[in-house]
């Protein structure tokens, strides 16, 4: 047997355990959820559960609310994270060292503890409200238990990881490229759009995909910090399954959420395929 064939067989054997784990934990639940979502109360199969998602007024509001929170969170996270990563990459000093030592801390705080911390900080009788009253101010605007609370929590959870990803990408931008752009008179905006952004676009797309999937499927922060109605999809799914015992409708909502995440993953995979095709 040729060495190349042996190496190919070895590679397949090494991949099989990961593939089986992925198949059992991801593929099988997706197939089961899809089958369950097509079931009706009469024992047959139809699209009535998906029809419910788009015809029920409350469910439509939940879907729109979830997409709004997700898009706003993704945009703000990317702007803040890219700014932090770029500042740490192209600057030096005490502030940069302080940011590098501090920005990763939220990753190591459990989501439940962080969420309750935000309640204690930004609630109606939280620390911020008390300090404002002590300083002679009035009532502060409502910060949590609505869309703003969920977005603030998403920023806390996602900015550190996204900054780490983008910082790694920016560290790979050669200093020679930056210096050459400065030598030919390129301004900061042109340098960013024509040199830095193209070199970090792949990592930026990865960050968008991860943040989108994390926010659209989140539960803890929307459950504790979000409004009673409309709700994020994760909270709505738990209510439909746990409170109303509508397993088929919950499965339809779960599969619909999977399709939304797959939609983002499609653009990422398509971009990677195009890049590999251009290289070859």
Q: Is the pLDDT confidence value at 229 over 70? A: yes
Multiple choice CATH, 56-279, 3.40.50.300, 3.40.50.620, 3.30.310.50, 1.10.3720.10: 1.10.3720.10
Q: Is the pLDDT confidence value at 174 over 80? A: yes
DSSP for the chain, written as a single string: --HHHHHHHHHHHHHHHHHHHHIIIIIHHHHHHHHHHTB-TTS-B-SHHHHHHHHSHHHHHHHHHHHHHHHHHHHHHHHHHHHHHHHHHH--SHHHHHHHHHTTGGGGS-HHHHHHHHHHHHSTTSHHHHHHHHTT--PPPP-SSSHHHHHHHHHHHHHHHHHHHHHHHHHTS-HHHHHHHHHTT--HHHHIIIIIHHHHHHHHHHHHHHHHHHHHT--HHHHHHS-SSS--HHHHHHIIIIIS--HHHHHHHHHHHHHHHHHHHHHHHHHHHHHHHHH-
- Please indicate, yes or no, whether the overall pTM of this predicted structure exceeds 0.75: yes
What pLDDT sits at residue 9?
82
Residues of the chain with pLDDT > 70: what percent?
A: 96
Least confidently predicted of 5-19, 51-65, 71-85: 5-19
User: Which has more pLDDT, 137 or 259?
Assistant: 259
Range 150-162 average pLDDT: 93
């Amino acid at each position: 047997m040729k060495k190349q064939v042996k190496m190919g067989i070895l590679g397949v054997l090494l991949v099989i355990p990961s593939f089986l784990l992925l198949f059992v934990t991801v593929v099988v639940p997706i197939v089961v959820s899809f089958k369950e979502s097509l079931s009706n109360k009469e024992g047959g199969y139809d699209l009535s559960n998906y029809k419910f998602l788009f015809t029920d007024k409350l469910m439509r509001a939940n879907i729109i609310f979830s997409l709004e929170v997700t898009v706003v969170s993704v945009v703000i996270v990317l702007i803040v994270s890219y700014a932090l990563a770029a500042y740490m990459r192209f600057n030096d000093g005490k502030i940069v060292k302080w940011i590098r030592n501090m920005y990763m801390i939220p990753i190591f705080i459990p989501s439940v503890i962080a969420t309750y911390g935000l309640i204690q900080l930004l609630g109606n009788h939280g620390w911020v409200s008390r300090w404002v009253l002590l300083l002679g101010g009035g009532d502060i605007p409502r910060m949590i238990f609505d869309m703003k609370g969920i977005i603030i929590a998403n920023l806390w959870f996602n900015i550190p990881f996204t900054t780490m990803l983008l910082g790694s990408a920016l560290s790979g931008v050669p200093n020679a490229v930056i210096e050459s752009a400065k030598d030919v008179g390129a301004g900061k905006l042109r340098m960013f759009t024509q040199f830095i952004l193209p070199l970090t676009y792949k990592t930026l797309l990865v960050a968008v995909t991860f943040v989108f999937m994390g926010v659209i499927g989140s539960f803890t922060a929307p459950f504790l910090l979000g409004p009673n109605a409309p709700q994020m999809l994760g909270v709505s799914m738990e209510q439909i399954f746990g409170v109303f015992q509508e397993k088929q409708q919950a499965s339809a909502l779960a599969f619909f959420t999977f399709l939304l995440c797959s939609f983002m993953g499609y653009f990422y995979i398509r971009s990677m395929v195009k890049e590999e095709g251009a290289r070859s």
